Amino acid sequence: MKILHRIMITAAGIGIAAGAAQSQPVDQRHYNQDRRIEHGLRTGQLTPHEARRIERQQHSIHRQETRMRYRNGGHLNGYDRAVLQHREDRASRHIYRAKHNGRNW
């Protein structure tokens, strides 16, 4: 009986951890890119116009994620994560290019 109880507790813990791990990378990446934008503004690598454009793109990605989660009962399926990952990849390239294009305030 004790062994069965331990197995059930372990399985429940793994399920909870897996659910948290699925949403964490999307949220963490969004947070990291926001920090990159803020850093670019502080250091002068991004002009205010470039930052607004990139922030609008980030906001659009976040709205799409919210819609996807709403549609799927608060979760993201594999396809949704792939779509968001692709959009975040493009946004990351835009941030890099804007920070390294030689324009300053």
Q: Which range of residues forms the domain containing residue 85?
A: 25-99
In a domain, 13, yes or no: no
In a domain, 17, yes or no: no
Per-residue pLDDT tens digits for 34-63:
999 999 999 999 999 999 999 999 999 999
pLDDT at site 27 = 80
* Residues 79, 61 contacting (CB under 8 angstroms): no
Report if residue 55 sits inside a domain: yes
- Tell me, what's the pLDDT at 17? 47
Q: Provide the pLDDT for residue 6.
A: 62
In a domain, 69, yes or no: yes
Q: What are the tokens at 6?
A: 């331990």
- 11 part of a folded domain: no
Q: Note whether residue 19 is domain-resident.
A: no
Q: Is 15 part of a structural domain of the chain?
A: no
- Tell me the pLDDT tens digit for each residue of 1-32: 566 556 656 655 555 444 444 556 778 888 99
Q: Is residue 40 a part of any domain in this protein?
A: yes
Tell me what pLDDT residue 102 has: 82
State the total domains in the chain: 1
Nearest to 65 by CA among 13, 27, 14: 27
Write down the pTM of the prediction: 0.70
Please, where are the H alpha helices in 1-105? 2-43, 48-71, 78-99
